């Protein structure tokens, strides 16, 4: 799946979604109902935020019986971090002269 940086920034560009990411970073897997309770958000609202984060690939969900468990996709976050670093030329990289973008930033990231 191609990871789009605009989805990543949109997924983390909201205070509530940053709180969700921070909470999930401190826990292995959390039921959505517990996440909603801990962050004092309604179930529909937390599900809406999680859907945006899942589309960006930074949150994973898994159904176990009647519960939906969610976790942070740390591998995807590391991949995004690398792509942002390349895109903003935070490391030495070769530059595509036609776009002035680092060559690696133009290539889709693969999720392994």
**Domains of the chain by residue range:** 5-73, 75-104
DSSP state of 14: S
**Would you call 103 helix, strand, or coil by DSSP?**
helix
pLDDT at position 24 over 90: yes
What is the per-residue pLDDT across 27-44, written as a single tens digit (0 to 9) for each?
999 999 999 999 999 999
d(CA 83, CA 13) in angstroms, rounded, equals 17
pLDDT at position 93 over 60: no
* pLDDT of 2: 40
Is the CB of residue 71 less than 8 Å from the CB of residue 25?
Answer: no
Matching CATH number, 5-73, of 1.10.10.10, 3.90.650.10, 1.10.150.120, 3.40.50.2020: 1.10.10.10
Is the CB of residue 32 less than 8 Å from the CB of residue 64?
Answer: no
What is the per-residue pLDDT across 49-73, written as a single tens digit (0 to 9) for each?
999 999 999 999 999 999 999 999 9
Is the CB of residue 5 less than 8 Å from the CB of residue 88?
Answer: no
pLDDT at position 79 over 60: yes
């Amino acid at each position: 799946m191609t990871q789009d940086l605009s989805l990543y920034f949109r997924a983390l560009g909201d205070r509530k979604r940053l709180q969700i990411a921070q909470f999930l970073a401190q826990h292995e897997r959390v039921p959505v109902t517990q996440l909603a309770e801990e962050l004092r958000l309604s179930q529909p609202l937390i599900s809406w935020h999680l859907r945006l984060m899942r589309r960006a690939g930074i949150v994973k969900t898994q159904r176990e019986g009647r519960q939906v468990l969610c976790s942070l996709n740390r591998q995807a976050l590391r991949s995004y971090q690398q792509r942002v670093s390349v895109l903003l030329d935070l490391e030495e990289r070769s530059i595509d002269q036609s776009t002035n973008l680092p060559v690696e930033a133009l290539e889709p990231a693969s999720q392994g």
